[in-house]
Structure 1
């Protein structure tokens, strides 16, 4: 039942232990408390003389508490006049109360009147307690501290490259999006996700989401007395908290998806293998790479091109010599004729020398301006650039128009997906940027790049005639390549009194100047910096939908904010080719997929920067096959690393892609479920074993859905894995051999460079295609095999979702549930497709190994199949 009026009473005997800085500030006093069945409001008045430590103390605040659902509590503290910036609903739509709630909330709210503090509790267990310090609400600084349990298990607070379980001693997470080459540990990276999960074993998991896009330091530490706390230090905005609870971490993630939105569903083909390299010299080299993958018998679904294709790195242009339009269209046509795809990169910054895109933007007035009315200019890859103002009412039309023209299927480059980079936004001109031209990258190709070739240097059988060698064309050199409002008055928008630990330096360093005021409502970049990339993502998705409304748009972005997964996927940025980045990618992908609800995620396989090795790339080709977004990508100046360049890497890729492609419908089904319910696909071990404390800090293994445990080799030179198996039954993917887990680690030996240990978790039925293929289109033509892995009680279950693989709202779908017990497979569901899928065989796993039943049947209606 809803908590009684007791939740309005001050906490008896409450004590406050304040830090030194908090003792100087008076906090607030609550008064005029009003409540109804599902909410509470109060006035908060400054309880003494202002301390003005990092700004001006606001005298009068308002408190609103909403019991939105049985599992979610909303607490917002804002200024009475509502002049303080709040994240616009156009960026993150607000979730309201659920009228279907049973009024049986598990979360309770209590408070102390003076100095004001509050707690959020579940029964007798306190989950959030702000009595740890007095509340500070200033014009440019917010501070709130909550007590934590001793040695807590905390997760989230992305984006970072630190362990999955967050450190708890002298640890600071800074949220301020930046271009973070090498993704170094203990620094702010490309995205901001101010949500953390507190896992308490049998007591369940709760999450705390602070809806605030301002820069902030979130500190996790201990007092001198050894008491654990978490402390927010934000540069502005309001305290807009969403508290949510799940009986287990998986359920907590589902609750978070209800706040920020369920993730976008991806097309079937996007789950194939992708290849890219920054530094491909011309269209002929792109064709040669496509050809080489085919010759190596490595399935290549999508070819990508970095900014190399642009004319002097200017967006919405083609280098006329190295990537001429007619040749690009031939290449794309070749790919499409072979059921393959093509994707290019688009950056937000528009070159002032890009006559078409720049002049059109000037006409529509959609670029950022300084406060004196002049165009704001920075420097990115093409030199001096301007930046779209995503708040301007005409920017969407401008952006959509550029996509419609340049990516036109009839006359332009007919891309199948989009890659967004540099959208933190990145700016090469250091603050204060007085001479952007002086920081432009050279217009010439890097010295290592040879002259432009007029034709392919060697025969490429199957490609058009003008992709073949020719001695009649002269060589030409070309240039290009990749070398609420403004808020409270009197704020210092470039050098605020409180300094967050931004690894780039001052707020405006290497990004858009933070005193820029946006069009429309007049928001300051100081407040909206962290949502710039997500706003570009949303605008780009809409632009892609406009040019091709009948397919789901794939958009992969670098910079993200909470809720970005509803529109786009994410790659982890410019990592390095080393074992540390290989290992940490596991923690990163499961955090994004499960905790931040961006399930289409992956790292650059084999690493982007520095030189990979055959051993590392062999291991990474296998691991990457179990990301959701699987792409090999590296940087000019380093050795090429396409999978076909080493024998062991090629073999590793072939074996791993074979497994991945057979699992495509299992992946697709799970991602569809997450798009509908928020139930995560990629998961850390503790999501499935929430009471096993040995899993709580394990970030070197992960679950691929509920059924597949992936345990990669993570150390250089090793051919074994010290893999943890919870108290459950597992089956070796390759042999079907039973592994009875007892909550201990087992050494998996003889793991050669082309092998990755995989186990099926008991209790699952895994639908796989009967064989793999060179493209996802061909895979969809294969029949099914059902792998049945009984649990300890002898039963198993699974599901399968089928549609046309591409339509935003498919008209014909099949959704099937499988149940196995006592030798009988039960099949039921909705069978909406005109051509039913066929199960060619069932494989039953058990103590005696693999038992194959080659009984073929169609998935066209409910039925029972006897397997014994």
Structure 2
């Protein structure tokens, strides 16, 4: 959900700017000029807000000039020399001494440092540089807050695959991979800077390097070599190249080198290798990517650098090394792979029930119904509106979805309403008073409770670093289940939780509500989209071409709205007072080095809880700024394991950090109904898959603004191939459930038919992610690493290793171009007609793509398990299996399927099936004792060169087979009687 709406004025000027270009791009984030609420602009007919007074604080911060845009100050810094070096089998320890006078570039230089190089594992080295006095915050000293295998899996092997080198004066170091002498990290020629509020480390980079990761931002997959990535968790929506909700300071580098003449690599002409680098910190940081170097600039903490050796020709190996070191992602419940429908604007239970009925009437699959803020009483966490979402109505709703094996997920925000001490009706608000009693809220430096401003008014924020917060959070969630009727229903209530605004976001600067709790509840300090004089008029690019009449009407209406509000709004903005500044004990609110942050005007506290807010045991938020969403996800995950015994918790989190995948899935936040945002969702999903958060997706059709038929049709089809598949849109926008338009309904049905049939394949990919850290969806170069031309491809993607997706990403077209990797012996088959796709190596192939169609290709050499699709995941799991066998040029193919009960944390039994086809014989080998009841119905073999004379299953002849000469396709059907005890209950062989 969006952190705050967008100024109508800025949106309107954007509209005027883009009108002549036929590009209808609304929704610029404009808190810089935010529409400030007064009592006269409050909605008069809203059923959501009661009579709410005006907040007394503005949302503006103190202007900051980003230091990255100013002349560089570090050129005179002397660097350090190494002294008293001590080497051992486990690593190296040394003192580092400042080589000259302090340079005071952005703080006070430390005269002496401690170098500790640890040969952690065979493929990972840890380089730590800290101040000898121990004054700097060390993230690695707080394993109670963030814990990971990399703290515990130390083996110090003698056969390590890397070598650490260094020069003493000036101190420089470099790390080399032993197998090919590749330089993985090299600080030579760059002085180390280590100050109390500024740490700088630089590595040389190869020419035209290929770098990926450093999430989260809106950017293409390949990062390029002239950008700055800022790590400062921020509630701003979809900022292009700016800091966003999460921070994952890991990158993967892919390199290519010419292959020798006798190389076994065919046609590509290259060999490749990859490695990874993690700078482990929760402090604010920038990473400067420049043509010949990469530079870390941290505003606090120490250097905790981890280098993952990776290896040749398989980037997945590097990703696996990294993800295993921070903790592999959780295994989600089976139903989470289904389709999810949501919106901010389901004003009562009847709205959701009507949506549920419409999905059934239009025969569109759906597994889960979601609620945004609408279900809450006055936007307050852990409450249920007694009228719109009455207990009786909710019980009826839970009975309905239980009968059809569907699910419900509500939203919980990070901010807890701060009760008004003078309002007796607030006395019963348990989450606030219980939190006060247990002392679990974030504080100001003086020990008072930090009070921000979010949806319900003035709010407080649980401190998830406090051990007492775990029990507090669980109690709040238990009470919520009771409010939904869990005591008397006999039915489950929510089967997952959506945690939002957990950067955490606040709509004012500093502890703005500390002296104003007697004003609560207050309306947020801006007009929400959909409220009076703030109608949503934005539509996708190209809308004026295909919807000219509607576009004209929208344009005239937006002009009318602008003239009605522009003058008064501008006056309110000019009259906005400057917020009071807070003087911290340390210079943390405005440090000497100003980060190039996206939000507001550069104030670190704009849109979020201030850097000087204080966590448990006095730790400043400045030093743990980026970890709040992780802590909330962990607490929610642990609470749900207590509420639903041995059931895997499903948690969807907006803000994420390293290891968040252990506890949560992620969606890409508050995107726009724009074609550009549809495209950027692809690199967004691919990037999160390589940083250990594979269960990810974007809000299909867009969250903010109005979608249209064409965009929604294309997006629903593409999103069916994302790990997390949800349609969600904002308050005030038009409804965008897929049945609203004929073409969107048909596009969705077709794509969902494929997705639901692929559920066994998806679930196996999830298992591989959980055990090995492998991505569920992948860039093309992950599967074809020796093809240098694939290094920047992000308009196509792979689902696992078998499926290639080529979506349409622009309006008003009926064709799309895509590349089909591999050498001339690689086969690709069209999903729909099973023909071999005619392509040459490296060729961009033009594919027919009418509105309701998405191009899907199957890679030769792969066996894909399928089930007959139904209208939800439960029903699909009861249906017969099919096997799709796509032969390669040697008529060989293989695959794997993993099965368990789909919901338990601890499994009583599992089943892994290995599938192999070679020499005219398809066989399975099952390991495990989990019993699958559904039989095998059909086997389809693609690429079989000639028709068989007969088909045998074990020793039984099968007469129901067909060979299609036009497509070289063998179809073996009606196998149910041969597999009545279950498709994979025993090993079998089919031969021809």
Could you say which residue in structure 2 is the equivalent of 1:348?
414
Query: Following superposition of structure 1 onto structure 2, how do residues 576-655 of structure 1 map, counting pairs within 5 Å?
Result: 576-593=672-689, 595-655=690-750
- State the Cα deviation string for residues 677-717 of structure 1 (Å, max 9, x = none): 11221100000011101111000100001101111111211
Could you say which residue in structure 2 is the equivalent of 1:479?
none
Could you say which residue in structure 1 is the equivalent of 2:883?
786
CA distance in 2, matches of 1:185, 1:443: 23
Could you say which residue in structure 1 is the equivalent of 2:671?
575
CA distance in 2, matches of 1:58, 1:302: 55
Identify if the C-alpha distance between structure 1 residues 677 and 445 changes in structure 2 by more than 3 Å, giving closer, same or farther: closer
Identify if the C-alpha distance between structure 1 residues 645 and 527 changes in structure 2 by more than 3 Å, giving closer, same or farther: same
Which runs of no fewer than 5 residues in structure 2 stay unpaired? 1-70, 257-270, 420-425, 533-583, 946-964
Alignment equivalent of 2:498, drawn from 402, 410, 419: 419
- State the Cα deviation string for residues 322-348 of structure 1 (Å, max 9, x = none): 111221122122111111000100001
Contact in 1 for aligned 2:673/2:701 (Cα 8 Å):
yes
Could you say which residue in structure 1 is the equivalent of 2:431?
357
Alignment equivalent of 1:749, drawn from 847, 852, 871: 847
2:622 aligned counterpart, secondary structure: helix
CA distance in 2, matches of 1:310, 1:257: 37
Contact in 2 for aligned 1:694/1:743 (Cα 8 Å):
no
> Please, which moves more after superposition, 266-275 or 738-747?
738-747
Task: Please report how far the alpha carbon of residue 411 of structure 1 lies from its aligned counterpart in structure 2 after TM superposition.
Answer: 5.0
Query: Following superposition of structure 1 onto structure 2, how do residues 56-205 of structure 1 map, counting pairs within 5 Å?
Result: 56-87=108-139, 88-90=142-144, 91-96=146-151, 103-123=158-178, 124-169=181-226, 171-181=227-237, 183-201=238-256, 202-205=271-274
- State the Cα deviation string for residues 771-827 of structure 1 (Å, max 9, x = none): 110111111111111111112332111011111110001112111111110111121
Could you say which residue in structure 2 is the equivalent of 1:214?
283
Query: Following superposition of structure 1 onto structure 2, how do residues 627-706 of structure 1 map, counting pairs within 5 Å?
Result: 627-706=722-801
Query: Following superposition of structure 1 onto structure 2, how do residues 281-292 of structure 1 map, counting pairs within 5 Å?
Result: 281-292=347-358
- State the Cα deviation string for residues 588-627 of structure 1 (Å, max 9, x = none): 101101x111011000000000111100000011011011
CA distance in 1, matches of 2:346, 2:983: 45
Could you say which residue in structure 1 is the equivalent of 2:987?
863
Task: Please report how far the alpha carbon of residue 102 of structure 1 lies from its aligned counterpart in structure 2 after TM superposition.
Answer: 6.1
CA distance in 2, matches of 1:310, 1:346: 9
- State the Cα deviation string for residues 360-418 of structure 1 (Å, max 9, x = none): 11111111121222211010000010111112221111000011121243258810000
> Please, which moves more after superposition, 642-651 or 508-517?
508-517
Contact in 2 for aligned 1:47/1:115 (Cα 8 Å):
yes
The answer to whether residue 837 in structure 2 is matched with residue 739 in structure 1 is yes
Contact in 2 for aligned 1:153/1:198 (Cα 8 Å):
yes
Query: Following superposition of structure 1 onto structure 2, how do residues 391-410 of structure 1 map, counting pairs within 5 Å?
Result: 391-408=465-482, 409-410=486-487
CA distance in 2, matches of 1:579, 1:747: 22
CA distance in 2, matches of 1:43, 1:551: 50
> Please, which moves more after superposition, 418-427 or 319-328?
319-328
Could you say which residue in structure 2 is the equivalent of 1:853?
972
Could you say which residue in structure 2 is the equivalent of 1:251?
317
Identify if the C-alpha distance between structure 1 residues 529 and 616 changes in structure 2 by more than 3 Å, giving closer, same or farther: same
State the structure with bigger RCO (CA 8 A, min sep 6), 1 or 2.
2
1:265 aligned counterpart, secondary structure: coil
The answer to whether residue 602 in structure 2 is matched with residue 538 in structure 1 is no
CA distance in 2, matches of 1:493, 1:255: 35
Could you say which residue in structure 2 is the equivalent of 1:454?
none
- State the Cα deviation string for residues 652-691 of structure 1 (Å, max 9, x = none): 1111111100000100011111101112211000000111
Contact in 2 for aligned 1:179/1:426 (Cα 8 Å):
yes
CA distance in 1, matches of 2:911, 2:934: 9
Alignment equivalent of 2:363, drawn from 289, 297, 306: 297
CA distance in 2, matches of 1:193, 1:173: 11
CA distance in 1, matches of 2:654, 2:154: 37
Contact in 2 for aligned 1:424/1:559 (Cα 8 Å):
yes
Could you say which residue in structure 2 is the equivalent of 1:374?
448
Identify if the C-alpha distance between structure 1 residues 862 and 246 changes in structure 2 by more than 3 Å, giving closer, same or farther: farther
Query: Following superposition of structure 1 onto structure 2, how do residues 447-466 of structure 1 map, counting pairs within 5 Å?
Result: none
CA distance in 1, matches of 2:284, 2:272: 32
1:744 aligned counterpart, secondary structure: coil
CA distance in 2, matches of 1:756, 1:619: 8
Identify if the C-alpha distance between structure 1 residues 444 and 415 changes in structure 2 by more than 3 Å, giving closer, same or farther: farther
Contact in 1 for aligned 2:818/2:847 (Cα 8 Å):
no
- State the Cα deviation string for residues 811-853 of structure 1 (Å, max 9, x = none): 1211111111011112113141244542222110016422111
Contact in 2 for aligned 1:312/1:443 (Cα 8 Å):
no
> Please, which moves more after superposition, 838-847 or 310-319?
838-847
Could you say which residue in structure 2 is the equivalent of 1:457?
none
Task: Please report how far the alpha carbon of residue 754 of structure 1 lies from its aligned counterpart in structure 2 after TM superposition.
Answer: 1.1
Could you say which residue in structure 2 is the equivalent of 1:762?
860
Task: Please report how far the alpha carbon of residue 83 of structure 1 lies from its aligned counterpart in structure 2 after TM superposition.
Answer: 2.8
CA distance in 2, matches of 1:80, 1:94: 26
CA distance in 1, matches of 2:167, 2:148: 31
The answer to whether residue 86 in structure 2 is matched with residue 34 in structure 1 is yes
Could you say which residue in structure 1 is the equivalent of 2:654?
558
2:104 aligned counterpart, secondary structure: coil
Task: Please report how far the alpha carbon of residue 100 of structure 1 lies from its aligned counterpart in structure 2 after TM superposition.
Answer: 6.8
2:710 aligned counterpart, secondary structure: helix
Contact in 1 for aligned 2:892/2:917 (Cα 8 Å):
yes
Which runs of no fewer than 5 residues in structure 1 stay unpaired? 1-18, 223-227, 450-488
Identify if the C-alpha distance between structure 1 residues 445 and 290 changes in structure 2 by more than 3 Å, giving closer, same or farther: farther
2:77 aligned counterpart, secondary structure: coil
Contact in 2 for aligned 1:831/1:861 (Cα 8 Å):
no
CA distance in 2, matches of 1:531, 1:350: 18
> Please, which moves more after superposition, 377-386 or 102-111?
102-111
TM-score calculated relative to the size of structure 2: 0.78
Could you say which residue in structure 2 is the equivalent of 1:237?
301
Contact in 2 for aligned 1:517/1:523 (Cα 8 Å):
yes
CA distance in 1, matches of 2:527, 2:713: 34
CA distance in 1, matches of 2:434, 2:843: 62
Contact in 2 for aligned 1:148/1:229 (Cα 8 Å):
yes
CA distance in 1, matches of 2:400, 2:661: 32
Contact in 2 for aligned 1:726/1:742 (Cα 8 Å):
no
- State the Cα deviation string for residues 745-777 of structure 1 (Å, max 9, x = none): 3434331111110011111100001x1101111
Task: Please report how far the alpha carbon of residue 172 of structure 1 lies from its aligned counterpart in structure 2 after TM superposition.
Answer: 0.5
CA distance in 2, matches of 1:167, 1:553: 37
> Please, which moves more after superposition, 424-433 or 776-785?
424-433
Could you say which residue in structure 2 is the equivalent of 1:468?
none
Could you say which residue in structure 2 is the equivalent of 1:806?
903
Identify if the C-alpha distance between structure 1 residues 642 and 546 changes in structure 2 by more than 3 Å, giving closer, same or farther: same
Contact in 2 for aligned 1:106/1:122 (Cα 8 Å):
yes
CA distance in 1, matches of 2:83, 2:77: 19
Identify if the C-alpha distance between structure 1 residues 772 and 860 changes in structure 2 by more than 3 Å, giving closer, same or farther: closer
